[in-house]
């Protein structure tokens, strides 16, 4: 099976974020990591390759620092990488990012395209589904299991409140992968060494210019959310705080 995994680099979960001067984005001087659902998507692709043979290709769109995500993926076992590296790719909306991806892979024949179900920075949960529509492929979202069969694949879709649903689909298809579908592997030292020799193709904006146009939506401003709740912070030593909490639990919350 030939699988493409779309991956994104996002600020680290506990990275302190600061707004830029214009208040339209964050300052870039933070630490980055792979978008967690994408790591699960990659792991799933690697497992499918181990089961059925084939190739795993990873792709990302972002500045030079985003290459780290691709290197880690190659070290874990992906076969090659594609980096849409151009400052012009930064800040593209899901629609245009998907169009850039589709243009970058137009000469390839994948059986499956995986994305994480959403990104930890924007959280739109759209890019994978947009890619599917652009390619004219069937898709399914929030996937927790993938089994290959004669007609294509059977996937397990996660629904709200603990419900699930199996869906039979033909290939090729796009799937957005849910966290927790599997357990992530660590890259081995050998893997890290081998990664250095694996192909990494760079794609510039000029290469896909015809596919990309202006954003269809715009972040007018980014800001620290206004607090609507009156949060009371309890201070003191652990023992003092414990007493204060119990006081509140008894007299205000009335559960004791």
Partner 1 sequence: MSDTILVVVEQREGKLNRVSWETLTAGQALAAETGWTLEAAVVGSGVGNFANEVAAKKVAKVYAVESPKLEPYTPDAFSAALKQIIESKQPKLVLMPHTYQVRDFVPKLATAMGRTAISDCIGYKKEGGKLLFTRQMFQGKLAADVSFTCDAPWFVTFQNGAFRGDKVEAGASAAPVETVNVQIADGVIRDKPQEVFKEAKQAVDLTQAEIIVSVGRGIKEQKNIELAKQLAEALGGELAASRPICDSGWLPMDRQIGSSGQTVAPKLYLALGISGAIQHIVGMKGAKTIIAINKDSEAPIFEIADLAVVGSLFDIVPPLIEEVKKAKAGS
Give me the least distance between CB of 103 and partner 1, in Å please. Answer: 15
- Please report, as residue ranges, which positions from 213 to 242 form the binding site for partner 1 (by CB under 8 A): 214-227, 229-234, 238-239, 241-242
Q: Confirm if 42 and 187 have CB atoms less than 8 A apart.
A: no
Give me the least distance between CB of 242 and partner 1, in Å please. Answer: 4
90 part of the interface to partner 1, by CB under 8 A:
no
Give me the least distance between CB of 75 and partner 1, in Å please. Answer: 23
91 part of the interface to partner 1, by CB under 8 A:
no
Q: From the centroid of its chain, how far is CA 118?
A: 6
- Please report, as residue ranges, which positions from 60 to 89 form the binding site for partner 1 (by CB under 8 A): none
Sign of the Cα pseudo-torsion (31, 34, 36, 37, in order): positive
Interface segment toward partner 1; rule CB under 8 A; list 12-20, 47-55, 61-69, 70-78: 12-20
Cα–Cα distance for residue pair 211/84, rounded to 1 Å: 13
Task: Tell me whether residue 28 or residue 168 sits nearer to partner 1 (CB atom).
Answer: 168
Task: Tell me whether residue 83 or residue 157 sits nearer to partner 1 (CB atom).
Answer: 157
Q: Confirm if 128 and 141 have CB atoms less than 8 A apart.
A: yes
Instruction: Give burial (CB, 10 Å; 0-12/13-18/19+) of 205.
Output: middle
Q: Confirm if 48 and 5 have CB atoms less than 8 A apart.
A: no
Instruction: Retrieve residue 178's tokens.
Output: 């849910």
Cα–Cα distance for residue pair 69/67, rounded to 1 Å: 5
Interface segment toward partner 1; rule CB under 8 A; list 50-58, 77-85, 118-126, 201-209: 118-126
Interface segment toward partner 1; rule CB under 8 A; list 49-57, 63-71, 191-199, 246-254: 246-254
Give me the least distance between CB of 112 and partner 1, in Å please. Answer: 14
Cα–Cα distance for residue pair 73/75, rounded to 1 Å: 5
3 part of the interface to partner 1, by CB under 8 A:
no
Give me the least distance between CB of 12 and partner 1, in Å please. Answer: 11
**The tokens 């909490």 sit on which residue?**
245
Cα–Cα distance for residue pair 248/256, rounded to 1 Å: 9
Cα–Cα distance for residue pair 108/105, rounded to 1 Å: 5
9 part of the interface to partner 1, by CB under 8 A:
no
Contacts of 97 (CB under 8 A, 6+ apart): 61, 89, 127
- Please report, as residue ranges, which positions from 128 to 167 form the binding site for partner 1 (by CB under 8 A): 129-130, 132-134, 138-142, 157-167
Contacts of 21 (CB under 8 A, 6+ apart): none
- Please report, as residue ranges, which positions from 177 to 206 form the binding site for partner 1 (by CB under 8 A): 178-180
243 part of the interface to partner 1, by CB under 8 A:
yes
Task: Tell me whether residue 129 or residue 195 sits nearer to partner 1 (CB atom).
Answer: 129
Task: Tell me whether residue 91 or residue 199 sits nearer to partner 1 (CB atom).
Answer: 91
- Please report, as residue ranges, which positions from 18 to 57 form the binding site for partner 1 (by CB under 8 A): 19, 26
């Amino acid at each position: 099976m030939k699988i493409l995994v779309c991956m994104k680099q996002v600020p680290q979960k506990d990275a302190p974020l600061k707004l830029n001067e214009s208040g339209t984005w964050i300052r870039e001087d933070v630490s980055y990591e792979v978008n967690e659902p994408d790591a699960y998507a990659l792991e799933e692709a690697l497992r499918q390759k181990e089961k059925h043979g084939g190739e795993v290709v990873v792709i990302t769109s972002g500045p030079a620092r985003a290459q780290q995500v691709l290197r880690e993926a190659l070290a874990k076992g992906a076969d090659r990488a594609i980096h849409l590296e151009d400052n012009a790719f930064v800040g593209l909306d899901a629609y245009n990012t998907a169009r850039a991806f589709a243009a970058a892979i137009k000469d390839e024949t994948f059986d499956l395209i995986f994305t994480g179900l959403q990104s930890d920075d924007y959280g739109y949960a759209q890019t994978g589904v947009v890619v599917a529509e652009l390619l004219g492929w069937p898709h399914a979202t929030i996937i927790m299991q993938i089994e290959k069969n004669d007609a294509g694949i059977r996937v397990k879709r996660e629904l709200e409140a603990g419900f699930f649903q199996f869906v039979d689909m033909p290939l090729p298809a796009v799937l957005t992968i849910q966290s927790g579908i599997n357990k992530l592997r660590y890259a081995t030292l050998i893997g890290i060494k081998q990664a250095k020799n694996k192909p990494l193709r760079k794609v510039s904006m000029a290469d896909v210019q015809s596919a990309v146009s202006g954003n269809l939506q715009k972040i007018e401003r980014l800001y620290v959310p206004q607090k609507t709740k009156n949060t009371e912070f309890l201070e003191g030593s652990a023992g003092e705080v414990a007493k204060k909490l119990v006081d509140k639990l008894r007299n205000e919350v009335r559960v004791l």
